[in-house]
A and B are shown apart, each in its own frame.
Chain A
């Protein structure tokens, strides 16, 4: 028995399966397809949300709720191949709510304890100056209005395309541009950034 285990052929992972096909399967109630969709997109969403809300535990909560909502409304998704963008819009909406709640809590003096500042999350080997710039950027973004901060972060922290930011935020392209420009002006005044 143990010998057969040792000789077992390791088969390939189902990485090549199309997202749209998985969405169609998940719509019919296929839990396995849902699981694969979750495992495919959850790491990226967790990384993104943890940077946006500066908390790992909050990010886990938001991403779980996001997937739960997405799986519940899968029938409303018109283009299955756009699952990632659609999921992003759900998650961003939850992040916005979370950030607003965090601001209210901070305003009444109940700041969340598990806040992870960017300066502490800097890449290993980063210079002191880079860490300092990250700390300043973190502070500036926290002072901006939630919409401006979120739009700028999606565009210049996460590197999302402008159209995707607008779609994720549920705003028009021109409104999104306006938010980003307003945030960029404030950020530029305090932080040294590469040209966009």
Chain B
């Protein structure tokens, strides 16, 4: 008889989890940022505000005063036949003046619909939007620096490459290409200058900057290599 071994996991296939581990670390960073102590209260406050706005919109009386800026359209003409005769309020004398500046309804419509339409506010014409004024396009400094790095690479000028990459790393951390620049810088430091500590710092900084998904794996690998060298 075929007995299962103990522990039973011995009968189950083993697999590698490299992809999940790499992906997991990146997701962990995102989750931490989202659920972090600074972001969570903001998120809760925004949710509460949104909820309050939805509740207000749902409970607000539908027939608001004309001055509140919300438009209530008149019912279609065919609805008049199936609608009961509305109870018309006793309007004060000043209301006559109000009726004079609203659009008149077609004469063919029943009296009730005419009155309803007459009391509805007219749609105001908005002034035309001003033409969008755009200033001169901002220069792509990082792009130009990266091009210079490429030229330095072709000229095999490693010190210049390093200087340019350091410039990107120091002054353009907000740019999404900064992680890539740090990766190249780290490799230069590790492989050209044999400075494992500096390389580990560069790779670590790149990992902190939310690198693109395809760069996370190589960055980790490089970081571990450099980190090992640092402790040698």
Contacts and interface: CB of A to CB of B under 8 A. Distances in A.
Interface of A: 1, 4-5, 8-14, 17, 31-32, 35-36, 38-39, 42-43, 46-47, 51, 56, 60, 63-65, 67-68, 71, 118, 121-124, 126-127, 129-130, 133-134, 137, 156-159, 191-196
A191 B11 contact: no
Interface stretch (B53-61, B66-74, B166-174, B220-228): B220-228
Contacts of B226: 11
Interface stretch (B15-23, B98-106, B114-122, B129-137): B15-23
Contact of A68 (B10, B15, B35): B35
A60 B21 CA distance: 8
A111 to B, nearest CB: 21
Given A31-B204, A122-B11, A158-B7, A127 B224 contact: no
A137 B2 CA distance: 13
A127 B2 contact: yes
A64 B27 contact: yes
29 contacts: A1-B153, A5-B187, A5-B191, A11-B225, A11-B226, A11-B229, A12-B229, A14-B228, A31-B208, A35-B223, A36-B224, A38-B24, A42-B17, A43-B21, A46-B21, A47-B9, A51-B9, A51-B12, A60-B24, A64-B24, A68-B28, A121-B12, A133-B2, A156-B7, A157-B8, A158-B7, A159-B7, A192-B2, A192-B3
A192 to B, nearest CB: 5
